Amino acid sequence: MVERQLDLLKGKRQKGITPPGPSEFEIHCTVADYLRNGLAPGWIWFHPANGELRNKATGGRLKRMGVMPGVSDILLASAPYATLHALELKRKGEKLRLDQREWMGMVASIGGETAWADSVEAALLILTRWGAISTRIHF
C-alpha cells in the first residue's frame, strides 16, 4: 500500500474549491441502470451511439450513415403513439450546446418531450414526470 502525504498548503478543500461532482458518464450509467430496472410498461429506450472519441475515417462513416450532432443522450418512446422523449444529460454546471438545443427544438416541433438534467436526481424526476420509470423505484 502506498501512503501519500497530505499537502497542507495545496488542495481543493483547503482552497475552498468544491470537488467536481459525478461525471456525465457516471450520471448516464446510473440513469441507464434505473431505466433497465424500472422502465414502466409501454416504454422503450436507448442511447444513440453519438459522441466518444473516434478517428476521422470512422467519424466520416458514421456521419454518412446518419449520425447527427446534438442528438440527446437518452431517447425514449411511449405507447400508444410512440411519442418521442429526448433526455440530455450534463455534468453539474454544464449547459446545452447549440446543436443540442436545435435537436431538442426539432423533437418538440413534432410533439415530442424534451428535457435536460445535470444530476441523477434531476433526471429521475424528469423520467418520473414523463411516466417512463415506475414510481416504486426509490431514489
What would the pLDDT profile of 21-30 be if each residue is shown by its tens digit? Answer: 899 999 999 9
Asked whether the beta carbons of 62 and 19 are under 8 A apart, the reply is no
Report all structural domains of the chain as residue ranges with CATH numbers, in order of start: 21-49+70-130 (3.40.1350.10)
Q: Taking the complete model, does pTM exceed 0.75, yes or no?
A: yes
CA trace torsion 48, 51, 53, 55 (10° rounding)? 70
> In the chain, pLDDT over 70 holds for what percent of residues?
84
* Band of pLDDT at residue 49, cut at 50, 70 and 90: confident
Of the listed ranges 33-37, 62-66, 127-131, the least confidently predicted one is 62-66
Write the burial class of residue 50 (CB in 10 Å: 0-12 exposed, 13-18 middle, 19+ buried): middle
Q: Residue 137 has what pLDDT?
A: 58
For residues 94 and 117, what is the distance between their CA atoms, to the nearest angstrom? 10
Report angle CA 132, 95, 19 to the nearest 5 degrees: 95
- SS3 state at 13: helix
Sign of the dihedral through C-alpha 29, 27, 34, 62: negative
DSSP character string of 68-82: -TT--SEEEEETTTT
Sign of the dihedral through C-alpha 40, 67, 62, 98: negative
